[in-house]
Amino acid sequence: MDAELSETLPRGVVESIARRRSYLTLTSDAPSDSDIRDLIQACTSVADHKALRPWRIITLRGAARERFGAAIVEHEYGDASLLTDPDKIADARKLAGKPLRAPLLIAIVHRFVGHPSVPEWEQVASAAGLGHLLSLALFDQGWGVVWRTGPFVNMPRVAEMHGLKEGERLLGWLYVGGIDPSDVKPRNRRIDAAQLITRLE
């Protein structure tokens, strides 16, 4: 964080927000299921018009990540064992390895709830809010996180592998793992907040 920011910001949640950055490379450490449950419990405070809870969470560890990779490959190439083109074989291997970049993946799912006064976009905003809160809560507890989507969110095989139901949609995955102690660079985006504010009086 900027030196001047660290002097003016209060300790606590605002400081965690200001310090947050994504960690693209993660170690094999991961929070436990009960850690995740506690953090999600805390994140249920996310703003939610009419308390519809238009979201749910799916965690993937171990072989589930391999099944996710296999679903991506199947979407792209069908039966990959029939591939003969070396470039396609290499690409299939690369795709299969995508979900293995973290020991724990947390899928953020928007669950559409039909309601006369809460349009879908408000529900997606709430579900995305849950993802951001969870990402921040994990970071605050010392875990590395990066939110990834890619084309995978729209692949029917991937949705099926996750067990999505009618009206549910993947908003991406929080890739979660340990932070490598040598990965100490500060957040890279430097944004001037003053340029983003319009004041009406």
Q: Footprint of ligand FMN on this chain (CB under 6 A)? A: 21-22, 146-150, 172, 187, 189
- Residue 146 Cβ, how far from ligand FMN at the closest point, in Å? 5
Q: Is 143 annotated as a binding residue?
A: no
22 a known binding residue? yes
Our CB check for ligand FMN shows the closer of 98 and 115 to be 98
For residues 131 and 129, what is the distance between their CA atoms, to the nearest angstrom? 5
Residue 49 annotated as lining a ligand binding site: yes
Nearer to ligand FMN, 39 or 146 (CB): 146
- Please state the closest distance from residue 72 (CB atom) to ligand FMN, in A: 13
What are the residues whose beta carbons fall under 8 Å from the beta carbon of 17, sequence distance 6 or more? 136
Q: How far is the CB of 128 from ligand FMN (least distance, A)?
A: 7
Distance, in Å, from the CA atom of 189 to the CA atom of 19, rounded to the nearest integer, reads 11
Q: Which is nearer to ligand FMN, 50 or 112 (CB)?
A: 112
Q: Which is nearer to ligand FMN, 50 or 129 (CB)?
A: 129
For residue 139, the one-letter residue type is F
Was 148 annotated as part of a binding site? yes
Q: Is 37 annotated as a binding residue?
A: no
Q: Least Å distance between CB 140 and ligand FMN?
A: 15
Which residues are known binding-site members? 20-22, 49, 147-149
Which residues are known binding-site members for FMN? 20-22, 49, 147-149
